[in-house]
Structure 1
Amino acid sequence: MHVRTLALATACGAALLAAAAAPAPPATAAGGQAPHRPVRAKAVTAADLLAKTRGCNRISRGKYRKDAGAKATVPVCAADGAVYWKADMDIACDGRKTTRCNRKTDPWFLPDTAFHQSDGKALDAARLPYVVVPAPSKIWKYPDSRIRGGGVVAVVHGSRVRYGVVGDTGPAKIVGEASYAMAESLGIDPDPVSGGVSGGVTYIFFSGSRATPIESREAATRLGRNLARAFVAAN
């Protein structure tokens, strides 16, 4: 009896030690069900955005040129929560003077932008992905579509989508211009003289949006991803 009792006690002790060493079962919510784990939202792809911008509900009174002297072929199109157009990409270097953007690298360089950083300085085209909108005209006035400086923009080229801000205004009859940093992020040659691409770029401007501060790439990307998801769901 003594031997059996000792053996039983030893076995029970071993079981208790094993139970203590075993990993605890997952916590359960009320009703005995495992708690819900949040699922990360699926990222919006270039294909998702292009699928929603195939047609065009034109809101511009006319069309824009891609370059000076070219035929006007680009309309401004409206969608739920955004406006967009499809054009080329010329390289904008205007803003803060840097080793990449200055009068030596860009004969048309201007040391200012229409919209400024939170400290009042011009934007840095070499570091900040921004897009140029045409100055208001009888063709279209960007404020009428709730587009403003710092507004978030999704730019699609090939299989890539990148987010930036409205950073400058350009000629009243031309579209298709973005900063050195935006071109570089999309794999487009960012040289302000020889770079850019002749077509295949889609610009989607999210109405009423604003990245804060305007000079934060992270703020534009974070907000842009959420707005792009809402845009795809609504259109």
Structure 2
Amino acid sequence: MRAQSLVPAAAGATLLAFTTASTAAHPREPVRVEPVSRVSRVSAADLLDKLDACEPVSRGRYRTDADAPADIPVCGTQDAVFWKADIDIDCDGRPGSRCNHTTDPWFWPSTAYKQSDGRYLNAETLPFIVVPAPSGIWDHRAHGVGAGSVAAVIHEGRIQYAVVGDIGPHHLIGEASYATAKGLGLRPDPRSGGAPSGVTYVVFKNTRVTHIEDHEEAVAQGEALVRKLVRNE
């Protein structure tokens, strides 16, 4: 069962800290990648083959749920970090017809990061993933991951491009927005949707879309980055 992405009791102070930290999440200038032609897409199978071996970059391991074993490491390559987990549905952020207090018992009307106009993200329409809060297990910021980092989420032959848009509990991993799950062809219901396993999350180091809400740019960068990772171009 999904834990709330931001703990309400400390949401104000924590959100401020995360928002401030996001400006330091990219130690170098973000990698800018030119869009590639649609015909040059790399298959999900090719990408998974490239990520077959895990070189752990986390000091410990994560749980997918509070009562699940801690057996998921964050792995790394020169250009990306990745993990294999389940997918729980994050409906937090701006409320809508699909994501609100009625549809989601864990709903929280904010996300760790905001879009360029100052509003919180819309989980119904924006594909984004959730990364664990920095801890002794792993600190995503040390690997060039933060607000708007480009991600690819893989499930059963599909690739859904997304951005890093929210921060979750420090001990849990495997969560993405309503729109991410829908794009993967999964049931996006926050109560019972998602998938229990078989989901791979890839986040590219030192990347960032200009505006976190710009999904078109996330796709363009993501396709080029995946092509570069798989084909060493």
Q: TM-score range by the shorter chain?
A: 0.7 to 0.9
Shift, 1:230, TM fit: 1.0
Q: Which of the residues 205, 213, 226 maps onto 2:203?
A: 205
Rg (Cα) greater in structure: 1
Q: Alignment partner of 1:161: what SS?
A: strand
Does the C-alpha gap of structure 1 residues 105 and 40 become closer, same or farther in structure 2, counting only changes over 3 Å?
Answer: closer
Q: Which amino acid aligns with 2:104?
A: D
2:121 alignment partner in structure 1: 123
Asked whether 1:170 is paired with 2:168, we answer yes
Report how many aligned residue pairs link the two structures. Answer: 197
C-alpha distance in 1 between matches for 2:197 and 2:153: 13
Does the residue aligned with 2:42 lie in a helix, a strand or coil? coil
Structure 2 gap segments, 5+ residues each:
1-36
Q: Which amino acid aligns with 1:207?
A: K
SS class of match (1:58): coil
Structure 1 contact 81–207 (Cα < 8 Å) conserved? yes
One-letter amino acid of the counterpart of residue 73, structure 1: D
Q: CA deviation at 1:40?
A: 7.1
Is the Cα–Cα contact under 8 Å of residues 88 and 177 in structure 1 kept in the other structure?
yes
1:169-194, Cα deviation, whole Å (9 max, x unpaired): 00001000000000000011100001
Distance 2:38 2:211 in 1: 26
Q: Matches of 2:221 and 2:101 in 1, distance apart?
A: 33
Indicate which of 183, 188, 193 corresponds to 2:186: 188
| Distance in 1 separating the partners of 2:43 and 2:211 | 25
Taking structure 2 as the reference length, the TM-score comes to: 0.82
Question: Per chain length, whose mean CA-contact separation is higher, i.e. which structure has more relative contact order (CA < 8 Å, sep 6+)?
Answer: 2
Aligned ranges 1:1-235 → 2 under 5 Å: 42-234=40-232
For residues 174 and 127 of structure 1, the distance between their equivalents in structure 2, rounded to whole angstroms, comes to 24
Structure 1: tracts of 5 or more residues without a match: 1-38
AA aligned opposite 1:187? G
Deviations 1:180-226 (A, max 9, x none): 00000001110000111100000000000001211011111011001
Q: Is the 8 A contact 1:80 1:231 kept in 2?
A: no
